[in-house]
Structure 1
């Protein structure tokens, strides 16, 4: 599904170019002097995974890394442009989620390779079905990404190849554990009905076998920033008044009068509300963040 999310007004080209000659002290600016591999990721979700694999041998810039920021209103800066221009590796979500990465790369004339995670996932089969681009909630895809990142880092710094491979193996083990937990939950909750304001946790729900019954016209309108059709809103509200669903997943980084109305309906009906995000909360890495998501969903389903 194409999102309005992450539109990117680029900084003036002259300002960006001026900074490339004099900026120091940023994650990318210092990387060339200490020999680390410079990686720019569209969000700190991917930045966290790269850091876990590369350790002290990588310098990671995450374009979106503020958990209090509404991703829909993101604006770039000259510093971001500079980081991209100096990067050795770029990581984008793809699928229309973060097209700003392509814009930044084109503007900077970078020669860095780019990992497009949606393409790597193989989940987008095309056709008429709407595609959920939030692939960072799909653990098998993250396992593929970890393997790809380790390989590319090893190509960029062959002397640390074994380190990257060992770190990737450890991280993959943790991702496999997350996947095992969702498989166990599926044994108990397969087919249970749930709802969300946006399809952010869709792949997590799929792994647990949960049946999303949110009216498509509601979640699509919220995701695109459009007005919700009154009929779709009323249909969504009835999910809670009739206690049709076991939980509501609520995107904490975006809100609208309609999502607030839905959240209120869930609260009043006693339907658990599980907050979800599109970037890492402060102080969390990818694995701890997803563990919190699994725990929250598990607790909600058990009520």
Structure 2
């Protein structure tokens, strides 16, 4: 199975003199973010007082396996703040930051998560380890953890205020605005948690597992399949058969399907779910093209899940 729909296309970086947010009372802070799952969040928090460069933005390149180009290293030059996902997800970015601007403060989402023990909280999460030696290190897809998204937002705001004390009031306003626009996200999580807790799911890849845990859903994905997926290897025939039987017997309420995972195995699993009448909810690991914001991406997926679980019409 090929996770994250890796591509040979070059990665695209994006720089934003962060979205509308009034006039900045100080010079904007230069912030570099490794991946676009966090880039939009940081841009919303920084507003006009931060120039945010996201290294992997709008790209189908798999961050786990990304080989940075020399031009990527220059993006970190002069960075005043670096925001990483952490874990083994974007080690290349941690190395570039350490070599280009070793004195710049670094916010690491996985570190804020406590290393992968997630579930519950106020803001988003997901799962899935890549590489056999990574299995015991926790789930790196922490933007799917409601708790971790909240912690990252607080940490970014605190660091921006420290770097630019003259803009502290501005950053406080941006943080308040961010929490307000996150309300539909929080409300959808609360609705699913109240109306579907205890229901079960299986998943083609563990990218959504932390959010599912936060929602109170039971993971019935066969263990052997889960381990194979975590190690990016083909599942044993017995493990695939166990998954197909699980779906055929309708022993789960929903199948979570990562559309960026390619291959005949996941296609076979989806077909089995559809044939058995098990609802399929599509999720993605990276931000889809032309997505308005982190919130709209997450809310759209949560709304689909709520409908599949019978929480919403």
Q: Please give the range of the TM-score, normalised by the shorter of the 2 chains.
A: 0.7 to 0.9
2: CA distance between counterparts of 1:223 and 1:60?
32
Question: Post-superposition shift, 1:6?
Answer: 11
Which of residues 62, 65, 69 in structure 2 aligns to 1:77? 69
| Long gaps (5+) in structure 2 | 7-12, 17-25, 119-134
| Long gaps (5+) in structure 1 | 8-24, 29-33
Question: TM (normalized to structure 2)?
Answer: 0.80
- Is residue 43 of structure 1 aligned with residue 50 of structure 2? no
Question: Post-superposition shift, 1:255?
Answer: 1.4
Question: Post-superposition shift, 1:218?
Answer: 1.2
Deviations along 1:86-134, whole A, 9 cap, x unmatched?
31111111222221222222342532111111111235459x9662222
Residue 202 (structure 2) aligns with: 195
Sort the Cα spacing of 1:293 and 1:85 in 2 relative to 1 into closer, same or farther, 3 A.
same
2: CA distance between counterparts of 1:174 and 1:115?
22
Instruction: Spell out the pairing of 1:164-243 with structure 2 (5 A cutoff).
Output: 164-175=171-182, 177-243=184-250
Residue 299 (structure 1) aligns with: 307
Question: Post-superposition shift, 1:214?
Answer: 0.4
2: CA distance between counterparts of 1:46 and 1:104?
17
2: CA distance between counterparts of 1:251 and 1:26?
25
**How large is the RMSD of aligned CA atoms in angstroms?**
3.0
Residue 298 (structure 2) aligns with: 290
Which of residues 268, 271, 274 in structure 2 aligns to 1:261? 268
Question: Post-superposition shift, 1:236?
Answer: 0.9
Residue 21 (structure 1) aligns with: none
2: CA distance between counterparts of 1:148 and 1:137?
17
Which of residues 70, 86, 104 in structure 2 aligns to 1:94? 86
C-alpha contact (below 8 Å) 2:31/2:82 kept by paired residues: yes
2: CA distance between counterparts of 1:233 and 1:95?
29
2: CA distance between counterparts of 1:198 and 1:44?
20
Matched positions, count: 280
Q: For 2:207, what is the secondary structure of its paired residue?
A: coil
Which of residues 144, 152, 158 in structure 2 aligns to 1:145? 152
2: CA distance between counterparts of 1:104 and 1:256?
32
Question: TM (normalized to structure 1)?
Answer: 0.82
